[in-house]
Structure 1
């Protein structure tokens, strides 16, 4: 399933990365200052070579990257923006009451995972960004490598970001699945995220999106209690969203048609890798609203989620292969790589 070509590139990504790193360094103090400076240097060296996505590509990342994109894409953008405005309240968990004391990152109180995702608690612009002591960065070696996915593949579309919105399960799910939308889910930020795509070599030199994607992988570093909650949120999808329908429109041969996408989620395997793991099958069938005729599908994709200590990874197989045994093998390989970067290590 080849993906759409990007429309633009961010003009000066390095300047944005340098600004973000400078802000992170200024928030550290005392004994942690040297450690934060060293961390910023390591991240700076790494992100200097990373191609940062244009704003429209960032918004598109949260939407489903296959044939139902045009069905739910418009509302998915709204969801990503809305979720982002909520999680900014608490950074690594819901915002505590304004009392004197240490910042959220230094507090020993675990994140309150029971706060609903649609919380309307106002954000405080005066709340300082917490420092990030200890192991935070996620090295490239912590993610699946091409040889573990298939022959002749390469790694591309790399992103490395601090303070990232946690989207382990596609944000289009709560838009159409009422049970998941009302479920109390984790609403904090990941301390760091690395994502990349293992794909065919680009057909157009210099344009990574011209190579067909095989596996998208995202690794989130969270505080430990949050990592457990994020995994639980992902595992809940097939329980509360076994089947649901999303409405939208799709263009076929120049004609715009009203369609309904029927989604089905089921568990293929669980508890086979890392501290916690699950392999999900996400099947979609798109039908015309007027005649109920099938426009596309049923199309399946394998979504593996695995937790190792404070790291949670999503391994999203998006090519035409939907072999559960192969999906499990990829998740096991992903878990083994997470071990080298987890805190604590395996």
Structure 2
């Protein structure tokens, strides 16, 4: 019981120091280095429970294969280099120019953790709700994507050469899919949030603990479809909010905006930390769709 109370107090105290800021405030954060340390600690708590991003006290690292982020170990898998045979001359290739630039997000940001892979199962990549009890009731695509490119966008490391001192604010993934699968995935995302608007999962608290041991925490995930049909051929905006259930006191771990955008045979997801309202992610979606147009089939 005492552990539960202490955990709730630590979560509340840590998160209470954070304002999920707008774009201008994020730029101020970049200049206020002392503030970044506190915010990074809180972000790693939020990210641990996000189904799209890998949680750690470092920028997000997406493994080459789909990973259950809420498994018994509760620890992120270490990504391994993936050999690809698809190159710029191949129709399935996704060029770097098809993704958002750091300047699209905010001044002073850089792209990190850039990776590519091919011919992997899609799984629950679009909306990671596989632990929802009713997930299996929704028919989903069981095949593979042809090619995938991913990146993290954030501030440079506070300590040069130490990636874990950086502050990441956005994660983007773009996949090329065969036939009409891209359209199918967007429709699936809508159906999944109808089937799984709210569910409970187990996670591990990544904040520092006096005992040196990880703390297991049950979390409530809530998904809300905020808007649709605002960019590209298809587009969706979701809010993903996470609450830690500590027994005596629940702690709001904040929310992220999740965009799903389709242009031709390309589908992108963009997850941005913060709860700024729809204006910022909708503007970002317009830019993302424009970049997807440069690589989509058929051409825009």
The answer (yes or no) to whether the contact 1:157–1:197 under 8 Å persists in 2 is yes
Following the alignment from structure 1 to structure 2, what is the Cα–Cα distance between the partners of residues 248 and 297? 14
> Which residue does the alignment assign to 2:232?
274
Alpha carbon RMSD of aligned pairs, Å? Answer: 3.1
1:228-267 equivalences in 2 (<5 Å): 228-250=183-205, 252-254=209-211, 257-267=215-225
Following the alignment from structure 1 to structure 2, what is the Cα–Cα distance between the partners of residues 187 and 76? 26
> Which residue does the alignment assign to 1:104?
none
The answer (yes or no) to whether the contact 2:254–2:275 under 8 Å persists in 1 is no
> Which residue does the alignment assign to 1:136?
92
> Which residue does the alignment assign to 1:154?
110
Cα drift, residue 4 of structure 1: 2.1
> Which residue does the alignment assign to 2:158?
203
Following the alignment from structure 2 to structure 1, what is the Cα–Cα distance between the partners of residues 202 and 237? 26
> Which residue does the alignment assign to 2:56?
4
| Aligned-partner SS, 2:146 | strand
> Which residue does the alignment assign to 2:252?
297
User: Which of 164, 182, 185 matches 2:137?
Assistant: 182
The answer (yes or no) to whether the contact 1:274–1:332 under 8 Å persists in 2 is yes
Cα drift, residue 205 of structure 1: 2.6
The answer (yes or no) to whether the contact 1:60–1:73 under 8 Å persists in 2 is no
TM-score when normalising by structure 1? 0.60
Deviations 1:110-162 (A, max 9, x none): xxxxxxxxxxxxxxxxxxx9xxx952111111000011100100111100112
Cα drift, residue 62 of structure 1: 4.3
In the superposition, relative to structure 1, how do residues 257 and 160 fare at CA in structure 2: closer, same or farther (>3 Å)? Answer: closer
Q: Give the helix-richer structure, 1 or 2.
A: 1
In the superposition, relative to structure 1, how do residues 76 and 278 fare at CA in structure 2: closer, same or farther (>3 Å)? Answer: farther
Comparing 236-245 and 257-266, the one that deviates more: 257-266
Higher relative contact order (CA 8 A, sep 6+): 2
Q: Which has the larger radius of gyration?
A: 1
Following the alignment from structure 1 to structure 2, what is the Cα–Cα distance between the partners of residues 5 and 279? 27
| Aligned-partner SS, 2:276 | coil
